Structure 1
Amino acid sequence: MDVYRARARTAPEMRTLRASSPAIAVVSSLAMVKEGYYFGVPPLLLGGIAIVFHWWILGGLLIAFALFCFAFFRDPERVVSGDPATIVSPADGKVVVITGEENAGRPGTRISIFLAIWNVHVNRSPAAGVITKVDYRPGKFLAAWDPNASKQNEQNVFTLATANGSIEFKQIAGLIARRVVSWKKPLESVAKGERIGLVRFGSRVDLWVPQGSELLVKVGDNVHGGSSILAHWPTRTAKSSIEATFVAAERQS
């Protein structure tokens, strides 16, 4: 199907929940996954040794790389919506594609999020439920913005069963990001916004939601994993439609 922009947002708008305290936000921004230590500490130590021996350029480059690793693997806390009707973003980045797509014969919508090198690369569960399947698929390493990346690139595909139905999301490797890491296994329960894995050094994450979901984002929106609300489940949409019908009837009476 052709790529389309989500309908104009009137109410409710796409929301990103934020930390209640600036101090909490600062402290959480300093958190880092273990890969940050693995990749960042060795060059930091070597850079310090190089500086001691007055190898300024080498030392500066090593320390700069270490700081880049610490920033890249940062893992800030996120304020997650407690509303069971919401579906949150599985990743930080920019929405680059919204398109109709079938999944196992079911109609729905795919939302693709591009992760730039400066985005947080920890991925989160878009809803609470049980992971019924984690399917690793080897493949190519096309650029993350390539339309064929969703189908042809190396990826981890998660199927999540929830109280509102099932959804699917993918960690997709890219031209630079050549490692997708899953921290969860099939039959594990996850909370909404819970950390589920990591994509190293940029790429994209795809989220598939069922037909009837109320989309709250459009192409070009910047989103944050765990805190940005991307959609409402179809049950929420149906309920809202019924409520709107009763309200209209009451106004006419």
Structure 2
Amino acid sequence: MSIVDSVTKAMVPIHREGWPFIAIALVATLVVGYFISPLFWIGLFFTGWVCYFFRDPSRVTPVGDGLVVSPADGVVSQVGMARPPLELELGTEPLMRVSIFMNVFNCHVNRAPIGGRIVRVAYRAGKFLNAELDKASDDNERNGLVIEAGDTRIGVVQIAGLVARRIVCFVREGESLSAGERFGLIRFGSRLDVYFPVGTQPKVALGQTMIAGETLLADLAQPQGTAQTLTRVS
């Protein structure tokens, strides 16, 4: 393998949503750096960080009936029972919820936790509180999806955070997704909530690091039990 092939293979793809931001950062760096040369290097570092933020690496999704994978990179901040947003139409009774917090250094491309048909897409305007707070699920701007696979329905909610100001969703109602397939992105720090069917026993722990499309959240094909409500302690 040549050096060029090795470098090309090592490069992480950048999501198309990032190119306008990269272009803006690069042009600003060149303009400001022309007049104030020390700022050129600061701008160049910032441009590199923007490239890093919008990276879109390949993922290997586990295959199996009933497997639910993480929709986001980040850290599990909450595990427990919570009422799903009303706009998802998943009922008013509490369901098992796993919350994954993404900081500004995580990959922000979101992936489908299961394969199935999208039966609901619902956006709701809101605030921009710290996404780690429990009330962010109710108060913050969000976009929710319900994915149906046979008799199973999984709710996935993209939640804007303190820095995030833009939720991007690539899919529409009626479309089908494969497990691990990209469905959206949130810019600059945020959170994803996953709502499971009644009785689901998650296979994750508070503080556990998640890899979108790869880390297993639950196995719905196995016997389920009663889970304890847990919240991340700072």
TM-score by length of 2: 0.84
CA distance in 2, matches of 1:42, 1:114: 27
CA distance in 2, matches of 1:50, 1:87: 47
CA distance in 2, matches of 1:205, 1:29: 27
Quote the offset at 1:164 in angstroms.
4.8
Q: Is the 8 A contact 2:100 2:191 kept in 1?
A: yes
Quote the offset at 1:58 in angstroms.
2.1
Quote the offset at 1:27 in angstroms.
3.5
User: Which range moved further: 115-124 or 163-172?
Assistant: 163-172
Rg larger for: 1
Q: Which residues in structure 2 correspond to 1:86-125 (within 5 Å)?
A: 86-103=67-84, 104-125=91-112
Secondary structure at the residue paired with 2:223? helix
CA distance in 1, matches of 2:28, 2:82: 49
C-alpha distance 49-140 of structure 1, shift in aligned 2 (>3 A): closer
Q: Which residue does the alignment assign to 1:47? A: 29
Q: Is the 8 A contact 1:32 1:74 kept in 2?
A: yes
Select which of 79, 93, 105 maps to 2:60.
79
Secondary structure at the residue paired with 2:137? helix
State yes or no: 1:225 paired with 2:212: yes
Secondary structure at the residue paired with 1:210? coil
* Uncovered stretches (5+) of structure 2, i.e. residues with no partner: 85-90, 225-234
Quote the offset at 1:236 in angstroms.
2.5
C-alpha distance 191-218 of structure 1, shift in aligned 2 (>3 A): same
CA distance in 2, matches of 1:35, 1:198: 8
CA distance in 2, matches of 1:77, 1:231: 22
Q: Which residue does the alignment assign to 1:201? A: 188
Quote the offset at 1:108 in angstroms.
2.5
Q: Which residue does the alignment assign to 1:9? A: none
CA distance in 1, matches of 2:178, 2:212: 13
Q: Which residue does the alignment assign to 2:12? A: 30
Quote the offset at 1:88 in angstroms.
0.2
Select which of 141, 156, 172 maps to 2:128.
141
CA RMSD in angstroms comes to 2.1
CA distance in 2, matches of 1:93, 1:42: 27
Quote the offset at 1:48 in angstroms.
4.2
Q: Percent sequence identity over matched residues?
A: 36
* Uncovered stretches (5+) of structure 1, i.e. residues with no partner: 1-22, 239-253
Q: Is the 8 A contact 1:29 1:74 kept in 2?
A: no
Deviating 4+ runs (over 4 angstroms): 48-51
Q: Is the 8 A contact 2:117 2:149 kept in 1?
A: yes
Secondary structure at the residue paired with 2:110? strand
Q: Is the 8 A contact 1:46 1:59 kept in 2?
A: no
- Number of matched residues? 213
Quote the offset at 1:45 in angstroms.
4.0
Q: Is the 8 A contact 1:193 1:225 kept in 2?
A: yes
State yes or no: 1:214 paired with 2:201: yes
Q: Is the 8 A contact 2:96 2:199 kept in 1?
A: no
Select which of 157, 163, 173 maps to 1:170.
157
